[in-house]
Amino acid sequence: MTASSSKVERIQSPHVVADRDEELDRSLRPRRLEDFVGQPVLKEQLAVSVEAAVARGEALDHVLLAGPPGLGKTTLAQILAAELDAPFVQTAGPALERKGDVAAFLTALEPRSVFFVDEIHRLARALEETFYPAMEDRQLPITVGQGAGARVVTLELPPFTLVGATTRSGLLSAPLRDRFGLQHRLEHYGLDDLATIVTRSAQILGVALEHEGAVAIAARSRGTPRVANRLLKRVRDYAEVRLGGIVTAEAADAALALLEVDELGLDRLDRELLRAVCEKFEGGPVGLSTLAVTVGEEQDTIEDVYEPYLLQCGLLKRTPRGRAATPRAYAHLGLQAPERSGDSLF
């Protein structure tokens, strides 16, 4: 090997590194329904629908997948395409800005394609209406010309399956939601399922992982596979640098302590958010906009990313007047809960 070739191998373009990271993340995703861990009821329902569609030679009915980020909505959409042996086309609600954008995707679909729209709740209302005849009648009305000479031409579309993913299903209009024949909500994962996911990912990554290490990582993964895989990578780095490469329970605990992830899976911002409610607003209630400014985070991020897990843990609750901390939040932070009387929030 020449010095110049060695130098080329060592100096990597950021784009090359990013592509490798993305490829690595994709490799951790299960590719068949039988390999997908957790969500047993959802898996069974989808398996029946897929088998029936394949037996009839039809496109699967349109599917709406709802739930917090990181639970596997995109992975399930890709799995559906694989199980149906159908092309997979992906976009996101914010990327569709004009009716022409929607038309370009729909008219290019091959028969029985799976068309995945992430963050579908962020579609403009005018664009939602473009999907109505496409989903219901496989037709796409196009207006040709302008003014008095304008006319509507209807294009026939091939049979396809629209898979919509949303973290906020309440923002979908009723007409769009009702056009999804299959509607499912993904729930947070239990400890055993997360430990299984961590173990599987460790095998793919070539990480030496003890069962206790997998459980330690799973316990702090916020019930979310994406978080579990992210923590596994960071714990792997720590174990390789400090502990000879084997991920034990002790290695996981030390690595996650370094990352400021506590025993409940809360990170520094989670605790800052709780501490702000407890200390600066005396336990609440405090409005979401005020809380967002206080911790320096976007309202949507707090509502979609942080709140669901804090609510699930019983550390935070929503009231008609805003967010309020619970006694468990004070205990977790090592603070003294204020005494409440009369209309106690607790």
- Catalytic residue set: 73-74, 118, 167, 226
| Continuous H helices in the chain | 3-10, 14-27, 40-56, 73-84, 99-107, 125-137, 174-178, 191-205, 211-219, 225-242, 249-258, 268-275, 288-295, 299-301, 307-312, 327-333
Say whether 220 sits in a helix, a strand or coil. coil
Contact 188, 226 (CB under 8 A): no
Contact 222, 187 (CB under 8 A): no
Q: Which helix (H) or strand (E) covers residue 318, if one does?
A: strand 316-319
Residue 319, strand partner residues: 322
Dihedral (CA of 199, 202, 208, 214) sign? negative
Q: Give ∠ CA 185-231-276 in degrees, rounded to 5.
A: 75
Contact 45, 96 (CB under 8 A): no
Neighbours of 200 (CB within 10 A): 17
Pick from 231, 233, 234, 213: nearest CA to 221: 231
Contact 275, 329 (CB under 8 A): no
- Antiparallel, parallel or unpaired: β 160-166 and 182-185: unpaired
Q: Give ∠ CA 62-68-72 in degrees, rounded to 5.
A: 60
Distances (CA, A) of 322 to 29, 162, 180, 193, 282: 38, 36, 33, 34, 13
